[in-house]
Amino acid sequence: MPAQTPLAWKNLTQDPRRLAAAVSGVGFAVLLIFIELGFMNALLASTVQILRRLNGQLVIVSAAKYALPARDPFDVRRVSQSQGVPGVKAVYPVYIDTLAVLRERGARGYPIRVIAFDLDADVVQLDAGAQVLSKLRAPGRSLSDVANRRKYHIPRQDAGLADYDAELCGREIHLVGQFHLGIDFVNDGNLAMSSANFANYFPNRVPGRDPLSMADLAVVQLHENADPRVVKQALRDSLGADVDVFSKDELIQREMTFWRTSVPVGYIFLVGVYMGFVVGVIICYQIIYSDVADHMREFATLKAMGYTNPYFIKLLLSQALYLSLMGFVPGAASSYLCYKAMSSMTGLTMELSAVVAFSVLLVTILMCIVSGCLAVRKLLALDPAELF
C-alpha cells in the first residue's frame, strides 16, 4: 500500500510566506513565555546565590529571619556553642550588611551589600584566587562584584581598580580585585572583605558591643562520616530558641518559596507566563482557523468522500504539533540571545537551562494543541451538502 499523503504537513508548508508568519507568531509567544520565566527564575536564583556559595552542609540563622535580606542577626556565641556538638568539624560566622553606602569621590552614594568572613577559613566560595584574597588582609581593602550596577562607576577591569577613589560608610575604601556573585532584586551590588575590615567599617553595628558579636549566618562544616540530619537535630536541641538550623538546600528552598509566594513581584512574573500562554493560544488558533477557512471546499470534498471526524481531528492536531515544534526553535534561539543580553545589562542570573527549555517546549505543544482543538470545531460542524 502506498504511504498516506502527509496532508497536515502539505497544508502548513504550501505557502512559504504564510508559514513564516505562522512560525513567527508562535515564536513570539514562546519568546514571551521564556522572558517571563527568565525574570521569575532570575528573581529566585539571584537571591540564593550567596547561599549556594557557602562551603558547608548546615547553616545557622536567627529564628526571626524570614528572608535573607531581613536584618536579624544572632549572638555569635552560638557559633562557639555549636563547636561541641558531635559531628561538627567547624563553624564560621558570616557577616552581611545591606545598609552600607558606597560613594565615589564627587558622586552620589548608593547602598551596596557587604559580605565579610574569616579569610583563614574556606567559608564563602568566591571565584577569586588565593593571591587576590590575601590582599583583603590589609586595612581598608575589599573585592568588587563584576556584576555591580554601573551607577557605582566601578571599573570592569582589574587594572582600573587602583584609580577608583571611593568611600564606604564615610571611610576610604580600596578595591583590590573582583569576583562574580551577581546582584538581585534587592541588592544592586556586592563587596567582599575580611571580618576585621568589616568591624572597622561598621563599628556601631551592635551598639555598645563588638561589631562582630552578632552574626547574620553561620556555616557549619561536618566531619566526613557525620549524618547531616542527625547533626542538624542535635544543634537545634543544644542551641537556644533564638536560632534555627537548616541544611543548605532547605534554606535555599525556603528562600525561593518566600520570593515565589510572599512577594508581589513573584506573582507578577507568574501571571506574565499565563498571559504568554493565552496569547500563544490566540495566535495559534488564528493561524489554524485561517487555514481551515481557506481550505473549506477541500475539507468538504473529503467529508463527502467518506472521511470521518477522527481523521480531521488527527489532521488538525498534527498540524498544530508541527507548528509548535517549528515555532519553538526560533523562539528558543531568540530567548537565549535575550537572556545573554539582559544578564549582561542587569547583572541578574538569567540562564536558559535544559529543564526550562523542555518545560517551555511542553507548554508550547499544549498551547498549539488547545488551539487545534478550538479550531477543529468548525470543521467538525461542516456539512458538505450546505457548501455545495
pLDDT in tens, the chain (388 residues): 344 667 778 877 888 888 888 888 889 989 989 998 888 888 888 889 999 999 999 999 999 998 888 889 999 999 999 988 999 999 999 999 988 999 998 888 999 999 999 988 889 888 777 778 888 999 999 999 988 988 999 988 877 888 899 999 989 999 999 998 888 888 899 999 999 999 999 998 888 889 999 999 999 999 988 999 999 999 999 998 899 999 999 999 999 888 888 878 778 888 888 888 888 888 888 888 888 888 788 878 887 888 888 888 888 888 888 989 999 999 999 999 999 888 877 777 788 888 889 999 999 999 988 988 888 887 777 766 665 5
DSSP for 230-245, please give it. Answer: HHHHHHHHHS-TTEEE
pLDDT reported for residue 2 = 43
pLDDT reported for residue 91 = 94
Taking alpha carbons only, the member of 127, 102, 117, 135 closest to residue 181 is 127
Query: Cα 350 to the chain's mean position, in Å?
Result: 6
Taking alpha carbons only, the member of 60, 69, 121, 87 closest to residue 247 is 60
115-135 pLDDT tens trace: 999 988 889 888 777 778 888
DSSP for 20-35, please give it. Answer: HHHHHHHHHHHHHHHH
Task: State the DSSP code for 117.
Answer: E
- What letters, b where the CB count within 10 A reaches 16 and e where it falls short, cover 136-166? beeeebbbbbbbbbeebebeeeeeebeebeb
Do residues 53 and 180 touch, judged by C-beta distance below 8 A? Answer: no
Spell out the residues 6+ positions from residue 82 whose beta carbon is closer than 8 angstroms to its own.
Answer: 60, 88, 91, 218, 220, 235, 238, 239
Spell out the residues 6+ positions from residue 333 whose beta carbon is closer than 8 angstroms to its own.
Answer: none
297-309 pLDDT tens trace: 887 888 788 888 8
Spell out the residues 6+ positions from residue 277 whose beta carbon is closer than 8 angstroms to its own.
Answer: 29, 33, 363, 367
